[in-house]
Amino acid sequence: MRVSYLIDGYNLLFHLGLFDRRAGAHAFEDARNRLLDFLTTAFPNAEDEVTVVFDSDRNRRRPASPVEHAGLRVQYTSRGEEADDVIEEMTVRSPNPRGLVVISNDHRVQHAAIRNGAQSWSCDDFLDWKDAQAVKSKPDIPEPDRSARPSRRDVKHWLNEFGYLANDPDFREVFDRFPFEDDPGED
């Protein structure tokens, strides 16, 4: 099933700590771009529809047309309108609320999502999901073959390096449990 994600932009941006007041006049623009870049890595699947809603940074009478940022849809509000209003309206208008995930820590937005049949994720829920996706996408790395016995040369090398620990009481148990004698195996 295709999933659509609707993200409260500034809510997530501040939750992640991406805004830096010291960044000067372009601090919000820089923070928004960092968030959008972060989200493009979080949603690499081109089938996912991701919309990020920001309060407008300009006094617009009408909302700006949505723009695209590396596959993400970015929507700004109009003057007098909050992102929460837009997200709530988009949730109500969703043709498939069961396939919609709304991401925000704002309780009003969360309740609106649930009331309209969508899923509601907090910012931490989203980050947990993102981490789980990253774990799933890691390639399987084969375990080393531990059944192979070290060569006589390897045993001598490691005993020369760490053999002094055999007299250390903290390591005595290891040396008693695994006798590191010269292996009659091949070099």
Decide: pTM greater than 0.85: no
Are both 87 and 171 inside the same structural domain?
no
- Per-residue pLDDT tens listing for the chain (187 residues): 678 999 999 999 999 998 877 767 778 888 999 999 999 989 887 678 999 999 876 655 555 667 777 888 999 888 778 999 999 999 999 999 999 999 999 999 999 999 999 999 999 999 999 988 877 766 666 666 666 677 788 878 878 888 788 788 877 777 676 665 544 454 4
Tokens of 33: 């771009």
Domain boundary among 95, 116, 137: 137
Are both 123 and 153 inside the same structural domain?
no
From residue 24, alpha-carbon distances to 2, 6, 13, 15, 77 in Å are 40, 29, 17, 20, 23
Are both 150 and 99 inside the same structural domain?
no
Tokens of 126: 């989203």
Are both 17 and 102 inside the same structural domain?
yes
SS3 label, residue 111: helix
